[in-house]
Chain A
Amino acid sequence: MKEESPFTYRDALQFGLIAGILVIFISLVGMVVAFNERYIVAQTITLGQIIVFLPPLTLGYYGARRAKGRQGSKGLLMSLLLGLVAGAVVAGFVILGTSVNLRTVFINAAPKLFDVLTFGRESAAAAALWAIAGGGLLAVLGGVFTLLSSWLRRALVMAITSVVLIGILQELLNITFGSRNWFKPVNEFFFEQKGLSWTGAIVIFVVTVLISVWRTFYGDRPAKAMSRMSPQSQRSIQIGSLVLGGIILLLVPRFLGPYPSEILTTVGIYIIMGLGLNIVVGYAGLLDLGYVAFFAIGAYTMGILTTVGKLSTMEWSFWLALPAAVLLALMAGIILGIPVLKMRGDYLAIVTLGFGEIIRIVVLSDWLKPSIGGAQGILQIPKAHIGGYEFKGPEQVYYLVLFGIALVAFVAWRLRDARLGRAWKAVREDEDVAEAMGIHLVNTKLMAFATGAAFAGLSGAIFAAKLGSIFPHSFNLIVSINVLSLIIVGGIGSLPGVVAGAFILVGMPELLREFADYRMLMYGALLVVMMLVKPEGFVPEATHQREFHEDEEEIEADSLAAETS
């Protein structure tokens, strides 16, 4: 990997400015005040404060890491400088904001905001000093992280993350388990009215640290113990854990109740789409920005064939219409595939983008209104059922989605290692050479498009039966972008990555519904940060992992070996 240039005082200044401006930015868009309503630890720290702390903390860490070189003290000095600059920028903002009325331009620059930023200091001078000192302290704290051993650093980051996560989850936990008997004492131990209790936070922190440390030093023990066993018992353990996992997945809705099940089904619908687009983009390397079209085709096929409302045609059952929806989406994939096969990269992306829009506009058009409802959509789509069992609410639809994911994941997994999967891989890596290896480019690409489209069709069909009515606005470009983003965040080409990405990008926003205004902002920030820090995704696929972390892996392994010995 390329040698990074030395970290100079100028860089520190620059980092400090960036941190300061970031804090001002999130303040002025209103995030700080809005998030300040959510306590993570009761009466102590709010989510709003955490996001204010984050820029100087992380930039302090990165500054120190780049400056570290031979000795750690220089890194810390850089962090301090950087933090002080950031603090000064924020202090300037606070002084400006308290003396001049900024609200005519920035409606969020309210007194409340400055209360948060200065932790209630009254006088401007005290507030400014606080901001500068706070900035310096946080950045140095970030810098100190670079001095820690990697196992300790990992443990602390995990512990802080889990405290914040569980703090965020408070409301959801209340909704979900509020009526259960066992929940009351647990709740009282961990939570107060708003936020975690101190004891709760400390317990979570300590437990996570212990788990992380155990995993670093003894994490390979179960695997080692397993490798010592006979092949038969290894196999039975594998099967056993699969069965156990399956049973847990089956019991989830019973345990969680309607609201979390609703979130899970939404996430699941995106997982199915993600697995499909992952074949097109991740396996075959064809950038498709109009993927929502196939989702729409699946949903509308299901809607038209099954509806019992005004637009009723066949009034088929769900199970009869399902293969039709998948098949139609698959054919649409091939039809789109044929003209665009000769295109590469950017050109392909733009044509598919157009295709997605065409489908949406066709669906919206007055011309087809008599048969597919135009803007009024299709209503009264019956729920799916098997015999007497109806997939009525989210707790039941969950099983339908689970079935879809299992089916699609199995197909995707088998295809990856099959001949076709290898052909996709070759095409992704180098089209011309792939052809020289005897790979039929046209068929290989068409198969990718068709498989991906079929998965989206399945997802759309389940989506239609879940909602009971569908409208054109559900099939916006943003769906394609969401699916593509979740693949990237999870790790392009990786199956577990799709699941992780869907939970992060689709599941998390559902948990933070009250902050829906900032959803796209956080989304964008997450993508930018991911691309800078972890471009291979959260659960990377081997080939991509190699590309980005060729040398680091070895270094990490070496330093770990040195530490443990």
Chain B
Amino acid sequence: MALLELENVHSYYGNIHALKGISLTVEEGEVVTLIGANGAGKSTTLKTISGILQPRQGVVRLEGRNLTEYKAHEIVSQGVIQVPEGRRIFSRLSVRENLEMGAFTRKDTAGIKADMEKVFTLFPRLLERENQVAGTLSGGEQQMLATGRGLMARPRILLMDEPSMGLAPVLVDLIFDTIKELNEEGMTILLVEQNALLALDVADRGYVLETGTIVLAGSAKELRENPQVKEAYLGG
């Protein structure tokens, strides 16, 4: 059984039909990427999974449980954690406070402490800035913080929305190295990314979205070599 499974999901913004029957699966330990142009429905898919948007039709399953029956905050305790687009950190709180917020649903103090250590080992820069106000961090550091905050919830699956957006190339590499590293440690990741080249580099499999439907699916290698994908997303 797949860890995460979407079956014929239809989502709407008011009357706008944003997702037109999305079906996809993410297996335990995989990095799966959704690529596609602006407005293709990548972020909408993530919103639907995390319960911010209710699908009108179709089901989202996590280990067989139907997630559409849960409210957004309950889905978090089920282990589906979103690292939001544009690094929505709590900018007036300190780095440490941000990380603590990430562990909001958890009550195991010792486990939280251990995970905090882990995040700091993964991102030593965050440890240096532990007591600094998050809003004063650089873009790359904010992305690290948003990722670290997601990890603090001890997710079963991490949904990452455009982690490369607005970052300098060096930092983008750093973030993607971390994604690889996390995956090697066993983390399952669903990655939404406009930078298809990078995304397919770290992913095991991928789906290509166009105007709310999946037009292509396959292993990262297949997609990289697919002429259509090459032309449309990899710059020829």
Tell me the A residues contacting B by CB distance below 8 Å: 419, 422-423, 425-426, 429-430, 432-441, 543-544, 546-547, 550
Chain A residues whose CB sits within 8 angstroms of the CB of B92 once the complex forms? 429, 543-544, 546-547
Contact A438 B104 (CB under 8 A): yes
Q: What is the size category of the interface that chain B forms with chain A?
A: 20 to 34
Q: Give which listed residue, A432, A437, A544, A550, contacts B101 with CB less than 8 A.
A: A437
A437 touches B136 (CB 8 A): no
A443, closest chain B residue (CB): B73
Contact at B52–A429, with CB atoms within 8 Å?
no
* 26 chain-A/chain-B pairs, Cβ below 8 angstroms: A419-B104, A423-B104, A425-B101, A426-B90, A426-B104, A429-B92, A430-B88, A432-B52, A433-B88, A433-B89, A435-B72, A436-B81, A436-B88, A437-B76, A437-B105, A437-B149, A438-B73, A438-B74, A438-B105, A438-B153, A439-B73, A439-B104, A440-B73, A543-B92, A543-B93, A550-B136
Q: Nearest 4 pairs between A and B by C-beta? A: A438-B76, A438-B105, A429-B90, A437-B104
Q: Could you tell me if A436 and B50 are in contact, using CB atoms closer than 8 angstroms?
A: yes
CB distance from B140 to the nearest CB of A (A): 19
In the bound assembly, the distance between CA atoms of A28 and B90 in angstroms comes to: 48
Question: For the complex, what is the distance from the CA of A439 to the CA of B102, rounded to whole Å?
Answer: 10
With contacts A436-B52, A436-B81, A544-B92 known, what are 20 further pairs, Cβ within 8 A?
A419-B104, A422-B101, A425-B93, A425-B101, A426-B90, A429-B90, A430-B88, A433-B84, A433-B88, A435-B52, A435-B72, A435-B73, A436-B88, A437-B102, A437-B104, A438-B77, A439-B104, A546-B92, A547-B92, A550-B133
Q: Assess whether A433 is in contact with B104, with CB atoms less than 8 Å apart.
A: no
Task: Give, as a whole number of angstroms, the nearest-CB distance from A436 to chain B.
Answer: 5
B130 at the interface (CB under 8 A from A): no
Select from chain B the residue with minimum beta-carbon distance to A444: B73
Whether, in the assembled complex, B121 has its beta carbon less than 8 Å from a beta carbon of chain A, the answer is no
Whether, in the assembled complex, B66 has its beta carbon less than 8 Å from a beta carbon of chain A, the answer is no
Which residues of A lie under 8 Å from residue B52 when comparing CB positions? 432, 435-436
Q: Considering the chains assembled together, what is the distance between the CA atoms of A432 and B90 in angstroms?
A: 11
For B103, the closest partner residue in chain A by CB is A437
* Set of chain A residues within 8 Å of B81, measured between Cβ atoms: 436
Residue contact A436 to B82, C-beta cutoff 8 Å: yes
Given contacts A422-B100, A546-B133, contact A436 B76 (CB under 8 A): yes
Q: What residues of chain A lie closer than 8 Å to B219, measured between beta carbons?
A: none
Chain A: which residue is nearest B90 at the CB level? A429
B122 CB, min distance to chain A CBs, angstroms:
19
- The reply to whether A441 and B73 form a contact with Cβ atoms under 8 Å apart is yes
Quick one: closest A residue to B133, CB to CB? A546
Residue among B50, B73, B74, B93 with most chain A CB within 10 A: B73
Q: With a CB–CB cut-off of 8 A, which chain B residues contact A437?
A: 76, 101-102, 104-105, 149, 153
Does B91 sit at the interface, judged by CB under 8 A? yes
> Which of A419, A430, A436, A441 has the largest count of B CB atoms less than 10 A from its CB?
A436
Q: Are B72 and A436 in contact (CB under 8 A)?
A: yes
Taking CB atoms, residues of chain B closer than 8 Å to A436 are 50, 52, 72, 76, 81-82, 84, 88
CA distance A426 to B104 in the complex (A): 10
Chain A residue numbers with a CB within 8 Å of B76 are: 436-438
Q: Select from chain B the residue with minimum beta-carbon distance to A441.
A: B73
CB pair A430 B90 closer than 8 Å: yes
How many Å lie between the Cα of A440 and that of B91 in the bound state?
21
Q: How far is the CB of A279 from chain B (nearest CB, A)?
A: 18
Q: Which of B10-25 contact A (CB under 8 A)?
A: none
* Chain B: minimal CB distance from A133 (Å): 48
CA distance A432 to B76 in the complex (A): 13
When distances are taken between beta carbons in the complex, the residues of chain A under 8 Å from B100 are 422
Known: A438-B153, A439-B104. A433 touches B133 (CB 8 A): no
* Distance (whole angstroms) from the CB of B115 to the closest CB of chain A: 14
Distance (Å) between the CB of B31 and the closest chain A CB? 21
Note all chain B residues with C-beta closer than 8 A to A425. Answer: 93, 101
Nearest CB of chain A from residue B171's CB, rounded to whole Å: 21
Q: Which residues of chain B (67-112) have a CB below 8 Å from chain A?
A: 71-74, 76-77, 81-82, 84, 88-93, 100-102, 104-105
Q: Are A433 and B153 in contact (CB under 8 A)?
A: no
The minimal Cβ–Cβ distance linking A473 to chain B, given in whole angstroms, is 40
Question: How many Å lie between the Cα of A543 and that of B105 in the bound state?
Answer: 23
| Nearest-Cβ distance from residue B192 to partner chain A, whole angstroms | 15
Report yes or no: B90 in contact with A433, Cβ–Cβ below 8 A.
yes
Contacts of A433 in B (CB 8 A): 84, 88-90
B5 nearest CB across to chain A (Å):
21
Nearest CB of chain A from residue B232's CB, rounded to whole Å: 31
Complex alpha-carbon distance, A422 and B90, angstroms: 12
Interface centre among B52, B77, B82, B104 (most CB of A within 10 A): B104
Across-interface contacts of A435 in B (CB, < 8 A)? 52, 72-73
Contacts of A426 on B, CB cut-off 8 Å?
Answer: 90, 101, 104
Complex Cα spacing A357 to B71, Å? 35
Shortest Cβ distance from A414 into chain B, in angstroms? Answer: 18
Produce 1/0 per residue, B113-148, CB < 8 A to A: 000000000000000000001001000000000000
Taken together as a complex, chains A and B put the C-alpha atoms of A186 and B187 apart, in Å, by 76
